[in-house]
C-alpha cells in the first residue's frame, strides 16, 4: 500500500512506535527494580514511642525497640513526637499514658494509643494499622499471662500460710483457679487514632493524580511547542524563540491552578490551606515540571521524549505517593530529592490532609531551585545551537563565481 509506505517515510511515525515501546521498557524496568524487596526494607521506617508511665514495670518502650522490625525512636513528650510525625519523619506514635500501670492494677481497663499519620502513602498507612493491631495483641497476651501468674502465686502463698485441712484447701484452690481463668484475656485496649485524616477515600488519590496529570501535561505541551518552534525558527533568532517559549511556560503555569483548584472544589476535595498558597504552589510546581521536561527536548530534540518518559516513571516511583520513599531501593531513594515530583507530592499531602504548613513553604523553595537550575541548563543547550535565522538569503539575480 502506498499510504503505508508513505507513513514509514516520515520520521515521526518511527518516533510514535518508539514511544510505545519505550513506555513498556521503561515502566517495567523502573517500577519492578524500585519496588523489588520492599518488604525487606521495613527497618527503614520509623515509629515513635512516648512513655508517660514512669511506673511501667514491663518497660514496654524497650521491648518494642527489640521486637518491632522498624526504627523505634523514644520521645519525652507527645508534642515533640507529633510534630515530627507531621513532618513525616516517623510513621506512627505509640503513646503509653501516665495512668497505664495504675489502671492495670485496678479494675479499670488501660489504653494504649496508636497515632497514625494519614498524610502518607496508602501502603504505609495500611502497614501501620496492621502493626498497631499486632503490637496490641502481643501486649495483651503478655499482660494476661503476667496477671494470671501473679494471681495464682499470690493465692497459693496465702493458702500455704492458712492452717486449713487438705479438702478445704483444695476446694478453695479450685475456686481461685476458676476466678483466675475468668480474667479478661485482653486487658489492654488498643485505640487507633488517625491524624490529618480526610473524609473521602478519593482524597488519597489526589497527590498521585496531580503528579501524573501535571507532568504528563508538561511533557506533551513541551513537545508540541517544540514542534511549533521548529516550523518558525528560520524567521526568528533562537534567543527570541527561547524566551517566547519561557513566557508561554510561565503564562500557562500561572493559569493552570485556577483549573486545578476549580476541579478540587467541583469534586468536593477539601483543602487545609488558603487559596493563595494552593495557587502559588500549583503554579510553581507546574512551572518546575515544564522547565524540567524542556531540558531534555533542548538537549536531544524529539529524542528528549524518551528521557521524559523515563523521568515520568522515576517521579511516580520516588515521589512517595504509592510506596513510602524509605522502602525504595537505595539508588531510587537517593534520586528522589533531585526530582520535582518529590516536593509536589509532599506539598499536596499538606494541602489535602494538613498537618504542617511549613512543609508547603519549604517545598516551594525547593521547586524554585529546580526551576532555576533547569532553566540555566536550557540556556546552555540553546547557546550551542545553530541560529537558523542568521542564514543569509542571496539577492535575486546574483551569481556565484567559481
Determine contact, residues 82/107, Cβ cutoff 8 Å.
no
- Encode pLDDT of 323-342 as tens digits: 888 888 889 999 999 999 99
In sequence order, the 6+-apart residues with CB closer than 8 A to the CB of 217 are: 286
- Encode pLDDT of 266-308 as tens digits: 988 888 789 999 999 999 999 999 999 999 999 998 888 889 9
pLDDT recorded at residue 166? 59
Of 16-20, 29-33, 49-53, 119-123, which gets the smallest average pLDDT? 16-20
Of 24-38, 56-70, 245-259, 270-284, which gets the smallest average pLDDT? 56-70
In this prediction, residues 8-14 reach a mean pLDDT of 77
- Encode pLDDT of 180-234 as tens digits: 555 556 778 889 998 888 777 778 888 999 999 999 999 999 999 998 988 888 8
- Encode pLDDT of 99-155 as tens digits: 888 887 776 788 899 999 988 888 888 899 999 998 888 888 887 776 666 555 555
Whether this model's pTM surpasses 0.75: yes
pLDDT recorded at residue 212? 92
* Confidence at 32, pLDDT banded by 50, 70, 90: confident
**For all residues of the chain together, what is the average pLDDT?**
83
Determine contact, residues 64/50, Cβ cutoff 8 Å.
no
Q: How far apart are alpha carbons 127 and 116 in whole angstroms?
A: 10
Amino acid at each position: 500500500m502506498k499510504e503505508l509506505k508513505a507513513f514509514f517515510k516520515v520520521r515521526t511515525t518511527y518516533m510514535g512506535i518508539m514511544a510505545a515501546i519505550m513506555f513498556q521498557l521503561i515502566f517495567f524496568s523502573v517500577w519492578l527494580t524500585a519496588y523489588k524487596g520492599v518488604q525487606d526494607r521495613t527497618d527503614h521506617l520509623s515509629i515513635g514511642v512516648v512513655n508517660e508511665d514512669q511506673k511501667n514495670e514491663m518497660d514496654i518502650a524497650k521491648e518494642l525497640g527489640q521486637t518491632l522490625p522498624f526504627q523505634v525512636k523514644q520521645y519525652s513528650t507527645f508534642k515533640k513526637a507529633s510534630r515530627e510525625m507531621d513532618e513525616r519523619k516517623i510513621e506512627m506514635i505509640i503513646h503509653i499514658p501516665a495512668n497505664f500501670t495504675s489502671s492495670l492494677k485496678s479494675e479499670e481497663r488501660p489504653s494504649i494509643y496508636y497515632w497514625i499519620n494519614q498524610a502518607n502513602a496508602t501502603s504505609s498507612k495500611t502497614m501501620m494499622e496492621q502493626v498497631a493491631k499486632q503490637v496490641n495483641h502481643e501486649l495483651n497476651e503478655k499482660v494476661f499471662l503476667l496477671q494470671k501468674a501473679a494471681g495464682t502465686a499470690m493465692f497459693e502463698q496465702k493458702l500455704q500460710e492458712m492452717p486449713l485441712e487438705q479438702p478445704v484447701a483444695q476446694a478453695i484452690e479450685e475456686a481461685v483457679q476458676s476466678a483466675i481463668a475468668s480474667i479478661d484475656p485482653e486487658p489492654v485496649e488498643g485505640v487507633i487514632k488517625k491524624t490529618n485524616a480526610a473524609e473521602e477515600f478519593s482524597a488519597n488519590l489526589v497527590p498521585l493524580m496531580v503528579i501524573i496529570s501535571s507532568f504528563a501535561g508538561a511533557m506533551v505541551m513541551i513537545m508540541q511547542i517544540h514542534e511549533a518552534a521548529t516550523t518558525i525558527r528560520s524567521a526568528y533568532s533562537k534567543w527570541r524563540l527561547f524566551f517566547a517559549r519561557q513566557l508561554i511556560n510561565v503564562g500557562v503555569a500561572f493559569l493552570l491552578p485556577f483549573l486545578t483548584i476549580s476541579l478540587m472544589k467541583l469534586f468536593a476535595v477539601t483543602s487545609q490551606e488558603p487559596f493563595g498558597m494552593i495557587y502559588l504552589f500549583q503554579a510553581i510546581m507546574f512551572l518546575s515540571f515544564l522547565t524540567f521536561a524542556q531540558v531534555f527536548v533542548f538537549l536531544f530534540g524529539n529524542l528528549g521524549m524518551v528521557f521524559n518518559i523515563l523521568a515520568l516513571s522515576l517521579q511516580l516511583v520516588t515521589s512517595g505517593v504509592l510506596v513510602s520513599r524509605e522502602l525504595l531501593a537505595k539508588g531510587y531513594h537517593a534520586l528522589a530529592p533531585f526530582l520535582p515530583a518529590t516536593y509536589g507530592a509532599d506539598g499536596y499531602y499538606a494541602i489535602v490532609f494538613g498537618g504542617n504548613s511549613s512543609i508547603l513553604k519549604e517545598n516551594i523553595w525547593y521547586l524554585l531551585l529546580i526551576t532555576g537550575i533547569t532553566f540555566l541548563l536550557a540556556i546552555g543547550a540553546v547557546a550551542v545551537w545553530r541560529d537558523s535565522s542568521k542564514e543569509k538569503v542571496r539577492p535575486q539575480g546574483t551569481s556565484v563565481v567559481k
